[in-house]
Amino acid sequence: MKGEVNPETDFHFPATPLDAIDARIAEQLLSEALASGGEHADLYFEYRSSCDFAFEEGRVRSVGRAIVLGLGVRVVRGVASGYAYTEELSEARMLEAARTAGQIASHGGSPAPVALAAKSLPSFYPVRELSLSRSGEEKVALLRRVDAAARAYDPRIVRVEAGYAEGWSDVLVVSSDGTMARDRQPMVRLGVNAMAEDQGKRQSGRSGTAKRRGLDLFAEPGSTPEDHGREAARLAIAMLHAQEAPAGPMEVVLAAGESGILLHEAVGHGLEADFNRKQTSNYSGQMGKQVASSLCTVVDDATITGARGSINVDDEGSPGGRNVLIENGILVGYMQDRISARHFGTKPTGNGRRESFRQPPMPRMTNTLLLAGNDDPQDIIGSVARGVYAKRFSGGQVNISNGDFVFSLTESYLIEDGKLTAPLRGVNLIGNGPEVLRNVTMVGHDFLLSDGTWTCGKDGQSVPVGIGTPTVKIAQITVGGTKAA
């Protein structure tokens, strides 16, 4: 597979140790893995090269670099997985990992060997060049621009911290069903934290972006270092004199973009097939039923060009796809990995993901979106007599079993008589997934994909994800302020 060319960009990826892994070695490892009677085996080879720059007090404080290499071997029998990995790609170590994983099965026959065939993949993140191959000075220049823009925004900005990180993964997935898929997954990330100080009060604001792109991302309007520097500074200043938030159930308008965290928590996790296979999700047994307002159509879409959560192929060898989860309020699909798809008698949906070669895959989201509706965003805000407008978030969390979820606001405003008024101090919203989605009463036509640095955690594994939503009105959700009404 050496010297492979990406057809869309005519770009040669650098050589990696994965170039040495051919079908013969892979077949040998798969036979070893299945020797004890496993039903299915897969190999996940990973080479990851990354670099990061930390900038504070007006200078590059530290530069980091890491190269990670390894192989993870999984052997499946029924719902049971045996898993082992090695960081050394010598034949002896790889065979040992295959044997270790294979001992999940101790009896029974194995499937006949299948000839491996290289799989052609879509290209959802074509890059003209890897950012890593550009000079370090260019990246330092980006950080200086972020820093300068944040400081120039307002004299009350007293501190700026910025970080740039980049990397790419060379991934080779080989499966005993004959799949052999190799993918190169780039990522660049820019983040900034600005602190404002005024009359003894302090407040910080963050902005950032992460995408499967090259350095050209930072030349685009809305994604420039200046955009992010100013946005972090704006947020810090805006929240300096925020007031206490109300407590109790209220009407809430979610701004387009990163409010998509609501979808991720309220329905996303609950529709991962493993929880439904085990009947531990509150969406278990709800297929075909109305689980949300008919205004809601939710998709998990791995095919958005350059997006943080996009994947050409998942970490089990299934192609990344666009999967409708909820259509006009009706539950129509789960996100499947291989084990769960087999249980449900359906096909994997390309959602089998893992953090690295050290972990087995499981059903995970990619880019999870609420599709646009018909309402004008101004009408949505205008329809609220008293409520909260939620604009930016630091994160969320859900309890899969009962559907309770929280998400934490870093920028929000009181709505009074259809107008945004006072900024509110950091506040948490809590709701129940199905209840909140039934309470969606207006959906805007202004869909926006958040360009933020979202990372999803599940069972101790982190994967990059995307979120997006139009402006949405929720008739009632509990606002966790300090000011009892």
Partner 1 sequence: MSCDQDKRTAANAKVCQELAEQMLSFAKRAGADGAEVLVRDGAELEVKIRMGETELIKEAGSRGLGLRVLKEDRAAVTYTSDFEPQAMRSFAEESVALCGLAEPEPLAALPDREEMARAIPELDLWDESVLSIDVADAMRWTQAGEKAALKFDPRVTNSEGATFGRGVGAVAFATSAGFSAAYRGSNVSFVVEPVCDDSEGKKRNGHHYTSNRFVAGLQPAEEVGIEAARRTVAKLGSRKVATCQVPAVFSPEAGRSLLGQFAGVISGGAVWRKSSYLAEREGTLVASPLVSIVDDPLLPRAPGSRPFDSEGLAVRPNVVVSEGILRTFLCDVYSARKLGRKSTASAGRGLGGGPHVTTSNFILRPGKSSAKEASNVAQGLYVTQLMGFGFNPVTGDFSQGAAGFWIENGEHAFPVSEVTISVNFDDLWKGVDAVADDLDTRSSVQCPTFRVARVTVAGT
CB of 41 to partner 1, least distance (A): 14
Q: For the purposes of burial, counting CB atoms within 10 Å of the CB of 112, is it exposed (0-12), middle (13-18) or buried (19 or more)?
A: exposed
CB of 405 to partner 1, least distance (A): 8
Residue with tokens 């499937």: 111
CB of 248 to partner 1, least distance (A): 4
Other Cβ atoms closer than 10 A to 360:
23
CB of 193 to partner 1, least distance (A): 8
DSSP bridge pairs for 457: 462
Closest to partner 1 by CB, 56 vs 226, is: 56
Cβ neighbours of residue 200 under 8 Å, at least 6 residues apart? none
CB of 236 to partner 1, least distance (A): 9
Q: Alpha helix locations (H) across 267-398?
A: 273-277, 338-344, 377-382
CB of 239 to partner 1, least distance (A): 9
CB of 28 to partner 1, least distance (A): 19
Closest to partner 1 by CB, 137 vs 417, is: 137
Closest to partner 1 by CB, 205 vs 309, is: 205
Closest to partner 1 by CB, 186 vs 360, is: 360
Closest to partner 1 by CB, 372 vs 388, is: 388
Q: Decide: 33 and 98 in contact? Cβ < 8 Å.
A: yes
Q: What angle do CA 161, 66, 307 make, to 5 degrees?
A: 65
Element (H, E) at 34: helix 23-34
Closest to partner 1 by CB, 167 vs 321, is: 167
Closest to partner 1 by CB, 125 vs 283, is: 283
CB of 66 to partner 1, least distance (A): 4
Q: Could you give the C-alpha distances from 34 to 144, 313, 361, in angstroms and in order? A: 54, 24, 18
CA atoms of 368 and 209, how far apart (whole Å): 17
Annotate 264-291 with three-state secondary structure: HHHHHHHHEHHHHHCCCCCCCCCCCCEC
Q: Which of 98, 71, 96 is nearest to 82 (CA)?
A: 98
DSSP bridge pairs for 413: 389, 423
Closest to partner 1 by CB, 73 vs 116, is: 73
